Amino acid sequence: MFKQLEKVSFKEENVDREGFQQKHGLIGESLEIQEIINVIQQVAPTDITVLITGESGVGKEVIAKAIHNASRRAQKPIVTVNCGAIPEGIIESELFGHEKGAFTGATETRKGYFELADGGTVFLDEIGELPTGTQVKFLRALENGEFMRVGGSTPRRGNVRVIAATNKDLEREVRNGNFRADLFFRLRSVNIRVPSLRERREDVPLFFDHFVKEIVERNSIAFGGVTEEAMEVLKNYDWPGNVRELRNVIESMLVIEAGKMIGGDDVRRHLQEYHRFDGERSLPVIVNKTPEQSERELIYRALLDMKSDIVDIRNLLRHRAGPVPVGVEYDTDYGIANVETNHDEESLSLDQMERRLITEALDRFHGNRRMAAKALNISERTLYRKIKQYGLPNK
């Protein structure tokens, strides 16, 4: 799971593991999580680069923040950068900053994330999305702390610790020529793999208790308890969306079943509603997903969620202002738009569903690809590729 490290003494030799977990928001009693905690305690006091890998929703950012908060840099900022959400044309400027006049629109000098995080930590999420051209400059900054602003001529130095995360198989990306081998080997000084929730089912009750307490306190919701059968259903479900999905389902159940004892049938019903499948408990789970399969799964889920949101908004409008004409949906942010509602999505192929969702997202945000990509929970580069793949208008 990770490279063997020499013994690194932690400031407090007899660290209370349970207290450490609570302090840094690390949940789990499974052997895999305890091993990760041991590694965090060893690497945190150092400035060594850490690569965190695992599926979407497993909590990679939680691990990164725990490393930072347990380090000597804890009083300095941790700057989180989602590499997949920044367009390729400006990511270098975002990371390293730019000088005034460096490009059209650069009306003033701007610091990048490496300067803003000086003395602290830069957490690069979705590092596998980093453009190959930027990878060269990032490697230089990683190796000697030296970088140059876009449009600048003077090298700068930054004192930052780098933690990176990805849900991609970087070794495969290297073989496919999408990721530099030298950067890959430099990044994985220590590799922490965060297991999926289905690999540590014994941790599900702990997450359940944690999320129930958080959601109940935040929303002042009554919680009537949960049956053993319900907990078994939760533990035996495969959770393709991992911890993020578990939290969403729990939140939905607490709101809808407020004050009631939650039973097994309640859990099954909410899982079905979450994925909008009649008679199916969950999306098909592919343990060793390719990046393409992961992207499709995310888009498919987003389509189902978007459909539900549109229906909810329409019902709310009907309640307030009477019936809405057939074929017309109301969006509180973007006004009334004509949308043909098809209730036979299940009969469409995945490609057709995917194409329809992308088209609807682009229409909904009037061609704004950044907002559409955010709504679809994919990177802008993935959206560009899908637009080209399906021959959609490049607005």
Q: Does residue 5 fall inside a structural domain? A: no
Domain shared by 205 and 154, yes or no = no
- Asked if residue 334 has pLDDT above 70, the reply is no
Q: Which segment of 7-16, 156-165, 226-235, 328-337 scores lowest on mean pLDDT?
A: 328-337
* Banded model confidence at residue 48, pLDDT cuts 50, 70, 90: very high
From residue 235, give the alpha-carbon distance in Å to each of 7, 57, 72, 196: 35, 17, 37, 13
Last residue of a domain, one of 146, 171, 195: 195
Q: Does residue 60 fall inside a structural domain? A: yes
pLDDT (tens digit, 9 = 90+) per residue, 134-189? 999 999 999 888 899 999 888 898 899 999 999 999 999 999 999 999 999 999 88
Q: Residue 81: what are its φ and ψ, rounded to 5°?
A: -120, 120
Across the range 192-218, mean pLDDT stands at: 94
Domain shared by 182 and 210, yes or no = no
Domain shared by 61 and 130, yes or no = yes
pLDDT at 297: 52
What's the CA gap between 203 and 76, in Å, rounded? 32
CATH of the domain at 87: 3.40.50.300
- Asked if residue 327 has pLDDT above 90, the reply is no
Total count of residues recorded for the chain: 395
Q: Give the strand pairing for 121-125 and 156-157.
A: unpaired
- Asked if residue 321 has pLDDT above 60, the reply is no
- Asked if residue 211 has pLDDT above 60, the reply is yes
- Asked if residue 57 has pLDDT above 60, the reply is yes
11 three-class SS: coil
Angle at 94 (CA atoms; ends 93, 99), nearest 5 degrees? 40
pLDDT (tens digit, 9 = 90+) per residue, 71-89? 999 999 999 999 988 888 8
Q: How many domains does the chain have?
A: 3
Domain shared by 245 and 318, yes or no = no
Domain shared by 118 and 258, yes or no = no
* Banded model confidence at residue 52, pLDDT cuts 50, 70, 90: very high
Domain shared by 189 and 73, yes or no = yes
Closest CA to 242 of 298, 191, 296: 298
pLDDT at 281: 37
- What percent helix, strand, coil does the chain show, rounded to 5? 50, 10, 40
Closest CA to 121 of 176, 43, 12, 233: 43
Mean pLDDT of the chain: 80
| pTM (two decimals) | 0.66
Domain shared by 173 and 89, yes or no = yes
CATH of the domain at 205: 1.10.8.60
Domain shared by 266 and 178, yes or no = no
pLDDT at 2: 42
pLDDT (tens digit, 9 = 90+) per residue, 239-273? 999 999 999 999 999 999 989 999 999 999 999 88
Last residue of a domain, one of 150, 177, 195: 195
Q: Does residue 71 fall inside a structural domain? A: yes
Domain shared by 312 and 372, yes or no = yes
Domain shared by 224 and 122, yes or no = no
pLDDT (tens digit, 9 = 90+) per residue, 340-369? 334 444 445 667 777 888 888 888 777 888
Domain shared by 350 and 221, yes or no = no
Cα dihedral sign, 18-161-378-288: negative
Q: Does residue 171 fall inside a structural domain? A: yes
Q: Does residue 66 fall inside a structural domain? A: yes
Q: Does residue 119 fall inside a structural domain? A: yes
DSSP string, 302-361: HHHHHHHHHHHHHHHHHHHHSPPPTTEEEETTTEEEE----S-GGGS-HHHHHHHHHHHH
* Banded model confidence at residue 299, pLDDT cuts 50, 70, 90: low
Domain shared by 314 and 220, yes or no = no
Last residue of a domain, one of 195, 213, 245: 195
Across the range 322-346, mean pLDDT stands at: 38
Q: Does residue 286 fall inside a structural domain? A: no
Q: Does residue 7 fall inside a structural domain? A: no
Closest CA to 329 of 304, 308, 305: 308
Across the range 336-342, mean pLDDT stands at: 37
Higher-confidence residue of 280 and 311: namely 311
pLDDT at 12: 45
Contact 56, 167 (CB under 8 A): yes
Q: Which segment of 49-58, 290-299, 349-358, 366-375 scores lowest on mean pLDDT?
A: 290-299
* Banded model confidence at residue 235, pLDDT cuts 50, 70, 90: very high
- Domain extent, residue 382, equals 291-389
Contact 259, 224 (CB under 8 A): yes
What's the CA gap between 112 and 380, in Å, rounded? 20
